[in-house]
Structure formats: structure tokens, C-alpha cells
């Protein structure tokens, strides 16, 4: 994490918080399904298939498809634009999906916003790459929690850095904090609460654009 630019750290944690925020909003909207936590959806998908009539399997399948589609599109953009504009383009894609979801949510005739949220979360995973062992902008934290336990053990046995666990702890706290904020906001504003996620991703995008422009000027 020491070699990771501070803007990447701050932006990654903000994106992680946004993912928790969006996931909490989607979870409450979909009565227990997720827009970014596909491990949880996979278990619920399997349970649904084991029940007569597969009550929610189709709905989860749609979320899978949208998450995969968003991840594919984000990765494709990132691979096609490997330089400084790659993260900008992927963040722009994510912001566009979130904005459309928000507009659908607040329009008189509401559209299916949750699938767009899943696509946005899929795209976010391609927005920022791992840097110096720190993976910012994640939308899931199972691996992060295991890494936290491992780095804590290393710190306890002095076989690793004393503060090597801090990045994983910050990532987990960002996701949980964002989810708490999303749940509270949804209870007050419904899907209109997505405006905060749009603003957060928009801020990270603005910083990324500024950095790309500065790099171009000094190249």
C-alpha cells in the first residue's frame, strides 16, 4: 500500500463504499438479493433451483447476466484503452449505468433499476487494478477478510509488517460503512438514494480525468 498513490487509495475506498451503498439499496429493494455480492446470489440461486417452481431463480439469473455483462464491458474497455484513459472510460461506463438506474428510479414510470446496478458493479471491478498488493474499488470482501486474518497473523508472529493488515481493514470498513449509509438512505428516500452513489463515483471519475489530463501534459 505504501507504493500506491494516495489518490488511488482514496478513490478505491470511496468506490468500495459506493459498492456497499449500492448493494444495500439493491438488497432492500429486491428483498434479499444482491447487486454486487454474487457469491450470496449464487447460494440463493442454488436454493431456489431446489425448490418447486424455482421462485426467484430467474430474477437472480438476470442479475448474474447483468453483472457479467458489466464486467465484460468494463474489462473490454480497460483492455482496449490500457493507458491513462482506461480507468476514466471504465468509471464513465459505471457512472452512466448508475445514472440511468437513478433516472429510472425517479421517473413517473419506473424501470428495472436493479439489473443496471448489477451491471455497474460488474464494471467497477475493472475500474482500478491491483497496485502494490492493494486492490481498491472492490465490490466484495470475502477474500479481503481472509487476507485481513492472514496479515493479522503475520503481524502477531512478526513474520510480516506490523501494520500490514490496515489496507484490508480499511477496505472492509469502507464497504460496511457504505452499506450502512445505503440502508439508512433507502429507508428515507427509496431508490432516489442512488443519487449519493452517483455523486461518489462522479467524484472519483473527476479526479481520474484530472490525473489523465495532467499526465498527458507532462508526457
pLDDT at 187: 96
| CATH number of 159's domain | 1.20.1250
pTM for the structure as a whole: 0.91
pLDDT at 134: 53
Q: What share of the chain is helix, strand, coil (3-state, %, to 5)?
A: 75, 0, 25
Domain hosting residue 167, numbered range: 10-217
Spans in the chain with pLDDT lower than 50: 130-133
- Is there a contact between 201 and 36 (Cβ–Cβ < 8 Å)? no
Q: pLDDT for 79-131, tens place per residue? A: 998 788 988 999 999 999 999 999 998 887 677 899 999 999 999 988 765 44
pLDDT at 2: 55
Residues 6 or more apart from 1 whose CB is under 8 A from it?
9, 132, 133, 134, 166, 167
Is residue 141 assigned to a domain? yes
pLDDT at 132: 38
Is residue 110 assigned to a domain? yes
Q: Three-state SS for 137? A: coil
CA distance 186 to 193: 6
Is residue 5 assigned to a domain? no
Q: Please give the tally of structural domains in the chain.
A: 1
Amino acid at each position: 500500500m505504501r507504493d500506491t498513490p494516495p489518490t488511488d487509495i482514496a478513490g478505491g475506498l470511496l468506490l468500495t463504499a459506493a459498492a456497499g451503498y449500492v448493494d444495500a439499496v439493491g438488497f432492500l429493494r429486491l428483498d434479499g438479493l444482491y447487486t454486487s455480492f454474487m457469491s450470496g446470489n449464487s447460494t440463493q440461486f442454488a436454493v431456489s433451483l431446489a425448490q418447486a417452481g424455482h421462485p426467484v431463480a430467474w430474477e437472480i439469473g438476470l442479475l448474474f447476466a447483468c453483472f457479467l455483462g458489466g464486467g465484460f464491458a468494463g474489462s473490454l474497455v480497460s483492455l482496449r484503452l490500457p493507458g491513462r484513459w482506461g480507468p476514466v472510460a471504465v468509471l464513465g461506463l459505471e457512472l452512466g449505468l448508475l445514472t440511468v438506474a437513478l433516472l429510472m428510479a425517479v421517473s413517473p414510470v419506473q424501470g428495472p433499476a436493479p439489473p443496471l446496478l448489477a451491471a455497474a458493479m460488474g464494471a467497477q471491478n475493472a475500474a482500478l487494478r491491483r497496485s502494490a498488493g492493494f486492490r481498491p474499488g472492490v465490490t466484495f470482501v470475502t477474500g479481503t477478510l481472509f487476507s485481513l486474518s492472514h496479515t493479522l497473523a503475520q503481524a502477531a508472529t512478526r513474520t510480516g509488517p506490523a501494520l500490514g493488515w490496515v489496507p484490508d481493514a480499511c477496505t472492509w470498513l469502507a464497504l460496511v460503512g457504505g452499506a450502512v449509509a445505503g440502508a439508512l438512505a433507502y429507508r428515507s428516500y427509496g431508490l432516489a438514494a442512488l443519487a449519493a452513489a452517483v455523486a461518489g463515483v462522479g467524484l472519483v471519475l473527476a479526479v481520474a480525468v484530472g490525473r489523465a489530463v495532467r499526465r498527458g501534459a507532462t508526457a
